Structure 1
Amino acid sequence: MANIPESSSSPYSPYDAERTLLRCGCGQDHAPQQHGAAMAASDPDALSRDFIEASLVKAMFPVERVRRNFLRAVGAGTVRAAIASVLPMASLQAMAQDKAKAPLEKKDLKIGFIAITCAAPLIMADPLGFYKREGLNVQLNKTAGWALIRDKMVNREHDASHFLSPMPLAMTMGLGSSQINMNVASIQNTNGQAITLHLKHKERRDPRSWKGFKFAVPFEYSMHNFLLRYYLAEHGLNPDTDVQIRVTPPPEMVANLRAGNIDGFLGPDPFNQRAVYDEIGFIHLLSKDIWDGHPCCAFGMSDAFIQQNPNTFAALYRAVLSASYMASQPKDRALIAKVIAPTQYLNQPEAVINQVLTGKFADGLGNIRNVPERANFDPMPWQSMAVWMLTQMKRWGYIKGDVNYRQIAEKVFLLTDAKRQMTLAGFTPEAGAYKKFKVMGKEFDPAQPEKYVQSFAISKSAG
C-alpha cells in the first residue's frame, strides 16, 4: 500500500489510515476516489476484502478518535497485514456461515486475567477486535492474584478465565478449593518464564550454593512451582527443606526482590524483565532452558458454561485461537507489545514487553541476548502436558493416593475441541494427543507416569 507524502495534493490526510484501507493501494491507474468502481469492475473479490478490512477496523475501534490514533501509531499497512495473517478470507467466510447457523446463547461475557505477558492472546483479542468479530461483548477483568481467579470461577463471577495451566486440573480434583469441573480450552503461552535473582547474587550462579534462599512463585498449582522444584532437585536441593518457596502474586515479585524479602523468583514476564529494567535483578535462566516448549498459562471455563452455552463457547474459542495464531507470528510481536502495554491491561513500559515478546533483551549481567523463542504462543492443549503436571503434583505431595492420569488429562484438556476449532478456522493442527518432550534432558513418557514419578531421587516421599 502506497504512503501519501505530507506534501501530497490528495484530499486524504497522510495520517488518515482508516481511509487508506479503502483507497487505492492496488497500483492500478485510477484515482483514489475511483477505487471502488474500478475494483468492482476488475476484481470484485478484492473490493470485498477491502471493505471487510475497513469494517473490521471500525468494529475494533468504534470511537473515531481512538481508531485514528491507533492507526496513526502502528500504520494501516501493519493492521492490514495483521488482519490478513490471522483471518484469511476463506476462514472468515467459514466462520460467518458457522455463526449464521448457531446463534449465541450469551453475548456479554466477563473474563478474568492476571496482568502478565502469558495472557497476551486473551488480552489482545480485546483491543484488536477478535471478540467483537465473533459477536461477543467481552469485559476483561484484571484480577489481583491466582487464588482470586480461582474463587471468581468457582463462584461464577467470571464466565471464562486466564488460568495457570495446572489450575483446572487441581480444581477438577478438588485440590486447594471446592471441587468444580474446569477445562483447558487452549494453552495461552509456551515458555515465557525465567528464574530471576537479586543482583547481589551475581557471583552465586551455581544452584548448589542456594541453600537457604527464599524464592517466590505465583501459585502452588503453577508450572512456575513445578519447574523451580524440578530445577532445584536436579541440582541436589530439596525444595521443601533446603530453600523456602513462597506464593507471591506476580505484580508483587519485583517489589519483594527490591526489599530483600526474597532472593529470587521463578515468575512470569514481564516481571523478570522488569527486574532487569529497574536494575534490581538479573535473569539467571529462561524457563525454556529447563523445558523448551513447556506450557504455562491457559484459557478455560467450566463444564457448566460449555454445556449451557455451546455456541458462545465455540465463538469464544475461535476468537482466542485466532489471537493465539497472531501472537505466534514474530512479525506481529511489536504491535502486540504496543496494544497490551496500556494501564487497563499490563500497565508496563512498552520497551519491557517488547524485549520479552521479541526475545531481544538485556539480561542484567551486561549482555544483550537474542532468543526468539523466549516466549511463544502455541495453543495446543496436549494431554501429555497435563499428565506431566499431574506427575509433579504426585511427586511433591499435592495429590495423595492413586491417580488416573489419562482419565483426568483427557477430561480437563480439551484437545479434540481445540483441533476441531483450529480446523474450522483454517489452521492445520498436529496429529496425536500425547506428544513426547524432554525436561532437563530427560524424556517424559506419558504412557508410564507412575514409573516417572518413582524415578526421582528427590521427592516428597523420597526426602
Structure 2
Amino acid sequence: MTKLDRRKFITAAGATILTHTLTNSSTANVPATNLKNRVYSSSGNSPEVTTATLGFVPVTSCCPLIIAKAKGFFAQYGMPNVKVMKQPSWAVMRDKLMLGAADDGLDGGHLLFPMIYLMSTGEITYGRKIPMYILARMNVNGQGISLANTYKDLKIGIDSSPLKAAFAKKTQSGETVRCAVPYRRVTGDFFMRWWLAYGGIDPDKDTSIIVIPPPQMVASMRSGSMEAFAVVDPWHHRLIKQKLGYSTVTTGELWNNHPEKGFTVRAQWVDKYPQAAKALLAAVMEAQIWCDKPENKEELFQIVSQREWIGVKSELLRDRLLGKFDYGNGRVVENSPHAIKYWRDSASYPFKSHDLWFLTEDMRWGYRSPDFATKPLIDAVNREDLWREAAKLIGQEAAIPASTSRGIEKFFNGLEFDPENPQAYLRAPKIRIAT
C-alpha cells in the first residue's frame, strides 16, 4: 500500500474539498489552518469515495465517532459525506453490518470488539461469515457494574461475596436472579462473570445472565426485572440519579486500561477502498486525540448530549468522563485513573494480545474449543498495520507501539494473562472457592 506523506495532502484536490469543508456547518469550529494541512491530494492518495455509512450505540465509548463527524474530521480527510447513525442495540448494529450500506445497512462503526471476531467467524451471524477488520480500539476503561438498591445495605464493592447468600435466598423462593450484559461473549459479559465468580457465585448456575440493550438498562432495573447490570456509561450515572441503584465497581478496577470498543469496517469495503478506509481511520484517530484534551471536554459534553447523538443531559456525562466517580453509596472518587480514555496510554492502538485474551477467555467459559487456532484469525481481523500507517499520516509516529503485544496483563482477582503462554490462563479456575 502506498505510504502516505503529510506533505502530499496540501495540494490540488484541496480546491474542491477545502471549499466544501469550509462551508460545511460541521467544521465551523475547526481552524482553516488545520483544514489546509489535512486535505487529501489528487495524486493517488485521495479517497476513492467521499462517503461511508457508520453506526454507533449511544454509550460514551462512541464519542470519537461522533466528534469525527461533528467537528469535521471526516471532511478534513476528504470524506465530507460520511454518515454517522445512531442504532438502538448491538444486535441491530450486527444486523446492519451484515447487510452493508449498499443494502440499507452499515459499512462500519463502533462495536464491542469481540463481536468483530464473532461476525468474522459467522458465530453470531447465523452461520454466515462476515469478514470484518478492526482498524482501531475506540477506548479503554469506561464500563462498570451496578446493583439494584435492594442490595444497598450490603455495601457491595469489588468483592461480590455478600451477594451469594442474598441471591441464594431469592432463588430458593422461586425467583430468578438476573444480571444483565449488553451482549454475550463480550467484555461486559466476561466482567460480570469475573465479578460474580470472585464472590463464589457461579454465573451459570446461581444467576441468569441476560442481554439488555444499553439504553434499556435503567428502565429494566426500575421494573425490578434484574439485580445487576454491566454496561458503559452514562447509564450508571442515570441509575444513581434516579435513585434506583448504585455502582459497585468500575471495570478499570477489574482490569486497568482494559480494551473496550473497536472501530470496525467491513473487510470488503476496506479492500475495495483502501485510501478511503485510511481516511476514515485518520479522522477517528484525530477525534480520539481531540476527545482526550482537557480543554475540549466542555464542548464534548455539549455535542454528544444532543438528541441525534447520545441524547442525555450533559450533567449525566460530565463527571465520569472527567474521572469523577460517584458510586451512589457514599463513595466518591476524584481523578480516578480508571476513567475512560480514547487516546492516552495507547488507548487507540489495537493490540493483538488483547484479541488473543478475548479468544482465550471465550475458551475459559466454554464458548470456544481450546484447540481453536487463534493466530490466523487475529491476523485476518486485526489491521494494526493500517493503524500504524494512519498514525504516520496524522503525525503521530511517536504513538506507534514497539510491539503488537502489550505484555502481561494483571487482573483484580490475582490472575495474569501472558500472551506468550495463554494456556496457563486458560487452565486457571473460574469460580473462587470460599475458604
| Partner residue in 1 for 2:301 | 337
- The answer as to 2:110 corresponding to 1:162 is yes
Mapped to 2, the partners of 1:100 and 1:276 lie a distance apart of: 54
- Residues 255 and 411 in structure 2, CA contact (< 8 A), matched pair in contact too: yes
| Partner residue in 1 for 2:245 | 281
- The answer as to 2:345 corresponding to 1:397 is no
Mapped to 1, the partners of 2:270 and 2:42 lie a distance apart of: 16
Q: Shift of residue 457 of structure 1?
A: 4.4
Q: Shift of residue 277 of structure 1?
A: 1.9
- 1:309-320 alignment runs, 5 A limit: 309-320=273-284
| Partner residue in 2 for 1:225 | 189
- The answer as to 2:330 corresponding to 1:366 is yes
- Residues 18 and 39 in structure 2, CA contact (< 8 A), matched pair in contact too: no
Mapped to 2, the partners of 1:322 and 1:418 lie a distance apart of: 12
| CA distance 1:56–1:336, shift in 2 (3 Å) | farther
Match of 2:65 among 105, 109, 122: 122
Matched residue type, 1:317 = L
Q: How many residues align?
A: 388
- The answer as to 2:237 corresponding to 1:245 is no
Matched residue type, 1:188 = M
Secondary structure at 1:125 match in 2: helix
Question: Which of 1 and 2 has higher RCO (CA within 8 Å, sep 6+)?
Answer: 2
Secondary structure at 2:161 match in 1: helix
- Give ranges in structure 2 of 5+ residues lacking alignment: 1-9, 168-176
Structure 1 residue ranges (4+ consecutive) displaced by more than 4 angstroms after TM superposition: 55-58, 97-100
Over the aligned positions, Cα root-mean-square deviation in angstroms equals 2.5
| Partner residue in 1 for 2:388 | 419
| Partner residue in 1 for 2:171 | none
- 1:10-159 alignment runs, 5 A limit: 59=21, 62-63=24-25, 93=37, 95-96=38-39, 100-136=43-79, 137-156=81-100, 157-159=105-107
Mapped to 1, the partners of 2:162 and 2:19 lie a distance apart of: 54
**% identity of equivalent residues:** 27
- Structure 1 or 2, whichever has the larger Rg, is 1
Q: Shift of residue 61 of structure 1?
A: 6.9
TM-score computed with the length of structure 1 as normaliser: 0.78
Secondary structure at 1:131 match in 2: helix
Match of 1:255 among 203, 219, 225: 219
- The answer as to 2:429 corresponding to 1:456 is yes
> Which stretch shows the higher mean deviation, 443-452 or 241-250?
443-452
Q: Shift of residue 350 of structure 1?
A: 0.3
Match of 2:259 among 292, 295, 306: 295
- 1:182-221 alignment runs, 5 A limit: 182-204=132-154, 205=156, 206-211=159-164, 212=167, 213-221=177-185
- Residues 390 and 405 in structure 1, CA contact (< 8 A), matched pair in contact too: yes
Matched residue type, 1:417 = L
Q: Shift of residue 56 of structure 1?
A: 8.2
Q: Shift of residue 223 of structure 1?
A: 0.7
Mapped to 1, the partners of 2:187 and 2:42 lie a distance apart of: 36
Mapped to 1, the partners of 2:116 and 2:94 lie a distance apart of: 9
Mapped to 2, the partners of 1:97 and 1:116 lie a distance apart of: 31
Secondary structure at 2:49 match in 1: coil
Secondary structure at 2:231 match in 1: strand
Mapped to 2, the partners of 1:219 and 1:402 lie a distance apart of: 24
